[in-house]
Structure 1
């Protein structure tokens, strides 16, 4: 590359080469042309043809990122429809809190043993700026004592803007509340392919923390669309997967939000209603964080009654009566509310990992068809009434791995600023698997604070634990009112694609990790 006047820097892992140079020199080196385009309202740089590497390099290089700056990355935050919101003025006004989560899933037993994350560091990878002071205000409002100066912000490639600041704020607030004595590194990159990659690569390369979480992603369908249009490298998912594999080799426990659109992840970004899962939660080297709804019994303002008797897979099928009464499906924005729930299904990018093979419920499924597509492109959808139940088989990486409360109806508060030097506000009932990933990050720090060595990548261990006679997991196996808008329980299996292995008793999980 030197003959084309490009300068390279090799990462400490020897896996990534970062190149710098002029646009003209990149065009010459990769035998392509860079140009500015506008697509779906976004302005970005793209290439007119796929880059070509010299033969000496092509067999050793998995892929090239950065020649195109297109992205469709979104947060996995979900808010209640505005007319269902409560008026929150503090964290205490929301149905759930980090303390209630700790009590529900038996993390308080570890606090009583003195395990609070002391001596641990958590990494958060994100694509939006935030105000660190907001996190301290949040913790103080909940009566959580935390060390001063526990936050270190690392701006990668110049950092990012404020769009999505509520995501970064809640990531820090939730992980820091669950592990109150741990330190937190926040890696903030621009919301671009290279910004996302560089932020994750820096966190993994520096290897300063035994646990890491991120809550941004895009559907596999959106990635496939981008590849077919020449906007994305065909090995995009493999490139990120390589970083997570590096992290697993280093003993990093990585947690990624599984998505907030149920089994229809592409409805949020590709505008299609095919069955799809979220990337990078589909990586075989991360623990994919799914979501549940907690029990609730409520009469809504219009008289609609809702009754969730037991903790279940999160989807808003229990609100369909309310949505129908208000004709939400008549608008694009209203229809989107019908497609809310925890992400889960089978990956089309990655094969079934060894740790999932042979586990009952993996690669088999029970489903409920609420919807059917109306055209070959799967861009239109209509209701199936009454819903139709069926069973089937599939293959691929099964998502998620486990689940905790994520429904905004039983969710949390967020304290955040939307710009520099702007007063922060309390967000009304928030939810989404964006909460579960940083919460698991905090749980991992609590667990690791009681171990001499890193617990490491969870999945090969937790799938083994789940099949034992003293499993720390409670599979959510009800066959009624327990789905992510498609996948539901198969009756009596260890795993299902709505909630993975189920919910967790963290005290029992800690004991299992200790053996």
Structure 2
């Protein structure tokens, strides 16, 4: 028998305020997925550095080519299957393209296979969940080929980044809300309806009612888009009937994309709210050969500090695959300002902080007629939410952000020591938010959650007009000055708006025509 060693980056610490409330039932069946290394990693890295540099000669890989050249090696998958068989685990699914093998077994079998102790925990915010402390251990002969083992714990990993306008605020006469087509017009989006494109939306809970969508699009005079739900790991379209819960997120995302790009099909990937569920859903969307999304919108995330290193690396490598395939990923930067709601210092939200996504921050918009009269950083005070943004502690400064610095609220400049967040922005204040219909209720919602689908819909229109995917857009947006409306007023706590890029609104809100020309 080979000895086992801790998998680097798999350590779990007990979060403050978490208590052990009992043991897990050893006979309970659970599913865990193992992510494997990439074939030809060095060759893939060389390709990525060309993509990151914005090399126009790089063409997106087909999903088939990515699977064949840079998926998991058949020999590696065979080793995992042999390991599973030796521990009585069943292989539920193997996907060479996504480099994942999904295993099913009892708590007792997994505890023995990975030398972990699974317990029931309780936390005042996260509720009760199955968890572990310490590292996951793997045998010597598998150590180099396993990137991550996910799903042993099912603690809620991320939160949705939307905010419902408080009822009393609606009475303030000077605050207007917008329909998504009104914002598309204010932001000068190019004509088109996204026909022929598929927009993927990732959801970690909740659901939508087709009746809501029908009446919403009908009232806007927009044709009903094709919306299909894709269940991942026991996830599915399960509306709770509570517009303040995840239903608000799901419906907001679909209504914004559908209202601006009604010709595009929308695939909604539903999964469990855990790091395993989140990563698997994004992976399934990126590698989906049936729906083939060309752009994916993610409105969920969590501070970098609450992710294990293995989860973050595994997730980031999925996002790299998306960039290689020419799939644009838009992610909300968070609604809790420069602290990302941690209450301790500055933090950025992940996956928005991955260098392979277009991180979307928030603004507050005032308009008169068909033009914007004022646009500032979204910051509605401590209870009201603010644009997430700052400097990553996990990822280095990408090529396209070299030499930038972040203006601070104190009037200084902070050189980027890591990836700067966000890249772009858009209307996100619930006080100037989006009119949507959720669980039968007409409501106004804001949050950077709304900005990710807004940008995703813009990119779907651009892709449709161009007849090919814009792909990894970050280098192109940073290389061409003036494609965004520069936001120079306001702050998100520690960081301030400034001329050019800043850590509140990135390059600014979209001038759709100019963005289209740049891409």
CA distance in 2, matches of 1:454, 1:12: 24
Structure 2 equivalent of residue 401 of structure 1: 423
Quick check: 1:507 aligned with 2:518? no
Residue by residue over 1:433-466, the C-alpha shift from the partner in whole angstroms, topping out at 9 and shown as x without a partner, is 1111011111111111112321111112111123
Q: Pick one of 314, 320, 329 that aligns with 1:239.
A: 314
Match of 1:474 among 485, 493, 498: 485
CA distance in 2, matches of 1:309, 1:440: 21
For residues 99 and 453 of structure 1, what CA distance do their matches in structure 2 show? Answer: 24
What does the per-residue CA deviation read over 1:409-438, in whole Å, with 9 as the maximum and x for residues that have no partner?
A: 111122112xxxxxx1112x3111111101
Q: Is the contact between residue 166 and residue 414 of structure 1 (CA under 8 Å) also seen in structure 2?
A: no
- The alignment's C-alpha RMSD in Å is 2.2
1:192 aligns with 2:300: no
Note the 1:286-297 alignment, pairs <5 A: 286-295=357-366
Task: Give TM-score, length-normalised by structure 1.
Answer: 0.77
Decide whether the 8 Å contact of 2:406 with 2:414 is kept in 1.
yes
Q: Does 1:155 align with 2:231?
A: yes
Are the equivalent residues in 2 in contact too, given 1:408–1:432 (CA < 8 A)? yes
Please give the alpha-carbon distance, in whole angstroms, between the structure 2 residues aligned to 1:495 and 1:11.
Answer: 39
CA distance in 2, matches of 1:132, 1:465: 41
SS at match of 2:461: helix
Residue 297 of structure 2 corresponds to 213
Q: Distance in 1 between matches of 2:161 and 2:250?
A: 11
Match of 1:13 among 97, 102, 105: 97
1:165 aligns with 2:247: yes
Query: Offset at 1:489?
Result: 3.1
Question: Does the Cα contact within 8 Å between 2:98 and 2:283 map onto a contact in 1?
Answer: no
In the alignment, what sits opposite 1:23?
Answer: 107
Q: Contact 1:488 / 1:496 at 8 angstroms: preserved in 2?
A: yes
Q: Distance in 1 between matches of 2:96 and 2:475?
A: 27
* Map 1:115-514 → 2, pairs under 5 A: 115-127=192-204, 128-147=206-225, 150-159=226-235, 161=238, 162=240, 163-207=245-289, 208-223=292-307, 233-265=308-340, 267=341, 270=342, 272-295=343-366, 310-317=374-381, 336-337=383-384, 340-358=385-403, 362=404, 364-368=405-409, 388-417=410-439, 424-427=440-443, 429-466=444-481, 471-477=482-488, 481-490=489-498, 492=499, 494-513=500-519
What is the alpha-carbon distance in structure 1 between the residues aligned to residue 172 and residue 416 of structure 2?
44
Distance 1:504 1:87, change over 3 A: closer
Q: Report deviation, 1:3.
A: 0.9
Give a deviation string over 1:287-339, Cα, whole Å, max 9, x none.
Answer: 00111111379xxxxxxxxxx9721111125xxxxxxxxxxxxxxxxx533xx
Q: Are 1:64 and 2:75 matched, yes or no?
A: no
Q: Which residue of 1 aligns with 2:39?
A: none
Distance in 1 (alpha carbons) for counterparts of 2:330 and 2:464: 18
- Partner of 1:283: helix, strand, or coil? coil
What is the aligned partner in structure 1 of residue 186 from structure 2? Answer: 104
The TM-score normalised by the length of structure 2 is 0.77
Shift of 1:170: 0.6
Is 1:3 the counterpart of 2:86? The answer is: yes
> How far, CA to CA, are the matches of 1:389 and 1:210 in structure 2?
40
Residue 133 (structure 1) shift: 2.5
CA contact (8 A) 2:176 2:431 kept: no
Give the secondary structure class of the aligned counterpart of 1:434.
helix
Contact between 2:338 and 2:492, CA under 8 Å: does it hold in 1? yes
The Cα offsets for residues 88-136 of structure 1, whole Å up to 9 and x where unpaired, read as 9xxxx962111221111111xx22xxx2111111111101222133122
Deviates more, 1:174-183 or 1:49-58: 49-58
SS at match of 2:383: helix
Taking the aligned partners of 1:511 and 1:182, their CA distance within structure 2 comes to 21
Are the aligned partners of 2:377 and 2:497 in contact in 1 as well (CA < 8 Å)? no
Could you tell me whether the CA contact under 8 Å between 1:448 and 1:454 is conserved in 2? yes
Larger relative contact order, structure 1 or 2 (CA cutoff 8 Å, min sep 6): 1
Deviation at 1:47, TM superposition (A): 2.2
| SS of equivalent residue, structure 2 residue 250 | helix
8 Å contact from structure 1 (residues 281, 287) kept in 2: yes
- Displacement of 1:395 after TM fit? 1.0
* CA distance in structure 2 between the aligned counterparts of 1:105 and 1:140, rounded to whole angstroms: 23
Contact 1:12 / 1:205 at 8 angstroms: preserved in 2? no
- Structure 2's unaligned 5+ residue stretches are 1-82
Distance 1:425 1:256 in 2: 26
The residue aligned with 2:4 is: none
The separation in 1 between residues aligned to 2:152 and 2:301, in whole angstroms, is 20
Deviation at 1:486, TM superposition (A): 2.4
* Bigger Cα displacement from structure 2, 155-164 vs 175-184: 155-164
Aligned-residue offset at 1:68: 0.9
- 2:64 aligns with none
